Structure 1
Amino acid sequence: MSLPSDAKPKKTSRELLFRIASAAVLIPIVLLIIAYGNWAFLLLLSVGVALLAIEWGAMAAPQLSSRMAVAISLAILGGVFTVYLFNMLAGLAVLALGAICAGFYFRYLKGPHLDAAYGAFYIGWPALVLIWLRETHNGVYWVFFAFLIAWAADSAAYLVGKLVGGPKLWRKYSPNKTWSGFAGGMIAGMLTAGTLADLTKLFQSSTAALIVGLLVAFATMGGDLWESMLKRRYGVKDSGTLIPGHGGLLDRVDGLMFAIVAIGGIRWLVMLGTKL
């Protein structure tokens, strides 16, 4: 049953208001915790991992959702704390072992074992990169880059797509996303990176900052599309109902997860001595 034509703008306005209200509450809290770091940042990340694991379990294994959530959380948090206490390579080894164990555990339960293993990697990889990134030199700035560019790109893509419309980006898996929204998100990501670069002085040139913004915005768009494909595979519209106007937490951070990995790769190149 379709909505009356006059109801659609009202529905869109309500969604936008919910998005703005949610962002106004959550963004300052998250940024303050990132800036503070230490135990508060580790606690925020741990809670986020647990919530994402719960949503993943509900999508991938509705009949065994709590068991999958626990298995995935243990695998990821083991890797997160290993990175925090030791180093990234050790954390990756722990995550890989945890993902394998989760897969075998669900094979024993005759459940979706590949989904359990993949869920640990899908959620865990960005979590490990994030804790590593925060602990590097100027780590606060690098994490801010990932979060703010991803938020700007995602918000601009939504607004431009709603206002301009036009041809669909990937109708099969995400019928609401448009090429105009994609372009708006890319431009917003570049402008945000350029502004942040002027404030943080992380890059030697504005051109390098714009390229970083373009790459991270592209990763954000890719992450959003990838999660849309996963939701279609599992037959759900949203990953959950945690955040008003956004659905689940996974719906909110899908692009951010890819953005974090992209920024992590760029940071690693900088640490190797590549001049940007």
Structure 2
Amino acid sequence: MRSVHVRFDAMLTKLLQEHEASKKERQGRPDFIDKLMENRVTEDGQTITDVNIKALISDLFTAGTDTSAVTVEWAMAEMLRNPAILKRAQAEADAVVGRDRLLEESDLPKLAYLQAVCKGAASAPVHPSQPAALLLRGVRGGRLPHPQQQSPPRQHLGHREGPEGVGGPAGVRPRPLRRRRRGAKYDPHGNDFEFIPFGAGRRICSGKLTGMVFVQYMLGALVHSFDWRLPDGEEELDMEEKHGLTISKAVPLKVLLTPRLSAAAYI
């Protein structure tokens, strides 16, 4: 762990030094690190140090990598169990992007069905990818003598019985998300409490925007670029869950893929 820490810290130190040396070249289009370095002194007079910035970047790497990868894997598994959803997502990508180029991040706002699929995959009732510990101070009007940390059953978070539920135990269900009052714009960033994959309030995930874009882009690229099927002889996916801070597949997803775009698109 010490060896890994030294290597990781050296990488982050180099990253900050490069940003400091090249900040004039990015005037008018600062990135996340530029913004942190520009606001080293906060409104209440506190100072954001390099150690603070490194810690936040480290959190984004460690927390964001696993949860995003787990969400994408579960989404692919559920789409393979529901081929109609996979085909519809591919048809939407073909209509927006075509088959002569790869999907780009700028295409994502036009892919409403893909966004709905990703929100369905990220919803807790399907396969929770986020830790779910809550700091409780009171329950039903009462007040606890000391704040207590509790881990509620994650499969119940965000769950609503009936056809209007956000996801549900049967897997990815993008249609209910689209039918609700905000449709594909159903907010996953802590403003709609029926659906809080990143938490809410002051302790909301700092990587919520990056995380949702990453999941949409990764899943969209995989769905658009390839046709997917189970290996020969396998008729059903093993959907057993492995519990931890995140809920990942006990058996890693294994599928066969076939390119579906023009050959020039992959060059």
With the length of structure 2 as denominator, give the TM-score of the two structures.
0.31
Answer 1 or 2: higher relative contact order, Cα 8 Å, separation at least 6: 2
Greater helix percent: which structure?
1
Larger Rg: 2
With the length of structure 1 as denominator, give the TM-score of the two structures.
0.30
